């Protein structure tokens, strides 16, 4: 995350340690620590070889790999910049001074850090677009939401800004949870959004809400789809898969209970908007623009 004196990301210095227990690391250039598969990946703004050597000696750790890259390269070669999905304008912190006063959209201030959910991945953008369509054309229809795999928290914040009263946002990556919490606070959404660290493979949060958003990946989606407790919500916004995966995913959906209201695609990424049959047919279908 950005902490003074840093106001943007430029170079990333990445060190992957072979263990997670590295002790306290209090360094002004540390962006954050990503825990994955019993390893720790530390991201810094600057080269940190001396510190890394100290950590290795202290924690009896070994470096599995290290890399230096441009922030743009981490973000798939893209410049993370302000974008609009009406009526929302998403502004990375380093551009907030440039936000035009005459911009009538609702601003979302975002520190994407190195977490998924800057808004520049097609699956995030698709989710945000369908979410804004739904929430603006049917205000108050969706009051409660669960965001599974929240990343930066962008989709939860977008929903809260458009009137969703209660959002529970889950992620298994503690670094993602910290970034999401920071973004929730930056947008004064603490009353509406609770961020929780949870591994969805170890248990499903209560999905008895108006809408579940799940921009995840195929194997986790299949696990969720096969759990009858997943299907307690009224609407489901599902993404994170490509056309070649659709048949396998469709086969695990309880289609006797569901209607596919919309399928959208951007680049190679797909999104489904599903509704429980009991609630579908009250106009929501016309909120969105059909299969694209
Ligand atoms: C594709 S990203 C989506 C992020 C954000 N919702 C968006 O649309 O941009 C998937 C997110 O799910 C999280 N995730 C992956 N596996 C998970 C699991 N087993 N339990 C909880 N979260 C998980 C990842 O850490 C990541 O932040």
Span 180-211, pLDDT tens digits: 999 999 999 999 999 999 999 999 999 999 99
pLDDT band of 220, cuts 50, 70, 90: very high
Are 59 and 155 in the same domain?
A: no
CATH code of the domain containing 108: 3.40.50.150
- Please tell me whether residue 231 adopts helix, strand or coil conformation: helix
- Helix residue spans in the chain (DSSP H): 49-59, 71-74, 122-137, 154-161, 174-186, 218-225, 246-251
Tally of structural domains, the chain: 2
Please return the burial class of 246, using the count of CB atoms within 10 Å of its CB with bins 0-12, 13-18 and 19+.
Answer: middle
Mean pLDDT of the chain: 94
Kindly give the number of the ligand 1 atom that is closest to the alpha carbon of 147: 6
Q: What is the predicted pLDDT for the residue at 142?
A: 96
Taking alpha carbons only, the member of 17, 48, 9, 58 closest to residue 35 is 17
| Dist. CA 28–CA 193, nearest whole Å | 29
Please indicate, yes or no, if residue 239 is contained in any of the structural domains.
yes
DSSP 204: P
Q: What is the predicted pLDDT for the residue at 280?
A: 59
For the chain, the C-alpha Rg in angstroms (whole number) is 20
Please indicate, yes or no, if residue 6 is contained in any of the structural domains.
no
**Which residues surround ligand 1 with Cβ inside 6 Å?**
116-117, 124, 127, 149-151, 154-155, 170-173, 176, 198-201, 215-216, 220, 240
CATH code of the domain containing 65: 3.30.70
**Mean local confidence (pLDDT), 36-61:** 96
Please indicate, yes or no, if residue 1 is contained in any of the structural domains.
no
Are 185 and 46 in the same domain?
A: no
| Dist. CA 200–CA 147, nearest whole Å | 11
Are 125 and 264 in the same domain?
A: yes
| Dist. CA 133–CA 158, nearest whole Å | 11
| Dist. CA 6–CA 30, nearest whole Å | 10
Kindly give the number of the ligand 1 atom that is closest to the alpha carbon of 240: 1
Residue 292 has pLDDT above 60, yes or no: no
pLDDT band of 100, cuts 50, 70, 90: confident
> If you measure from the C-alpha of residue 207 to the centroid of ligand 1, how many angstroms do you get, rounded to a whole number?
16
Q: What is the predicted pLDDT for the residue at 289?
A: 41
| Dist. CA 187–CA 157, nearest whole Å | 8
Domain end, chosen from 74, 94, 128, is at 74
**Mean local confidence (pLDDT), 64-83:** 94
Q: What is the tens place of the pLDDT at every residue in 157-177?
A: 999 999 999 999 999 999 999
Compare 280 and 228 and report the one with higher pLDDT.
228
Are 94 and 150 in the same domain?
A: yes
| Dist. CA 276–CA 268, nearest whole Å | 26
Kindly give the number of the ligand 1 atom that is closest to the alpha carbon of 202: 19
Is the Cβ–Cβ distance between 172 and 132 less than 8 Å? no
Phi, psi of 41 (to 5 degrees): -115, 115
> If you measure from the C-alpha of residue 96 to the centroid of ligand 1, how many angstroms do you get, rounded to a whole number?
26
Phi, psi of 258 (to 5 degrees): -125, 155
Q: What is the predicted pLDDT for the residue at 291?
A: 35
Task: Give the residue numbers spanning the domain of 129.
Answer: 83-287
């Amino acid at each position: 995350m950005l902490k003074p004196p840093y106001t943007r990301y430029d170079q990333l210095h990445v060190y992957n340690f072979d263990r997670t227990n590295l002790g306290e690391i209090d360094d002004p250039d540390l962006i954050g620590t990503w825990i994955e598969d019993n390893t720790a990946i530390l991201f810094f703004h600057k080269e940190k070889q001396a510190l890394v050597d100290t950590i290795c000696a202290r924690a009896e750790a070994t470096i599995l790999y290290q890399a230096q890259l441009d922030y743009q390269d981490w973000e798939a070669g893209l410049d993370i910049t302000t974008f609009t999905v009406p009526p929302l304008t998403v502004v990375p912190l380093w551009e907030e001074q440039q936000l035009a006063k005459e911009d009538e959209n609702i601003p979302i201030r975002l520190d994407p850090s190195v977490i998924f959910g800057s808004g520049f991945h097609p699956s995030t953008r698709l989710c945000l677009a369908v979410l804004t369509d739904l929430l603006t054309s049917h205000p108050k229809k969706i009051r409660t939401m669960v965001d599974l795999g929240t990343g930066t928290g962008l989709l939860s914040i977008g929903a809260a800004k458009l009137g969703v009263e209660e959002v529970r946002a889950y992620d298994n990556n503690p670094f993602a949870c910290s970034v999401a919490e920071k973004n929730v606070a930056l947008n004064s959404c603490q009353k509406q959004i609770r961020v929780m660290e949870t591994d969805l493979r170890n248990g499903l949060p209560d999905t008895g809400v108006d809408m579940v958003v799940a921009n995840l990946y195929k194997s986790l989606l299949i696990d969720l789809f096969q759990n009858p407790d997943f299907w307690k919500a009224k609407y489901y916004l599902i993404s994170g898969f490509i056309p070649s995966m659709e048949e396998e995913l469709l086969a695990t959906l309880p289609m006797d209970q569901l209607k596919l209201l919309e399928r959208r695609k951007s680049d190679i990424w797909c999104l489904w908007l599903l509704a429980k049959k009991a609630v579908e047919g009250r106009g929501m279908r016309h909120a969105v623009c059909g299969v694209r």
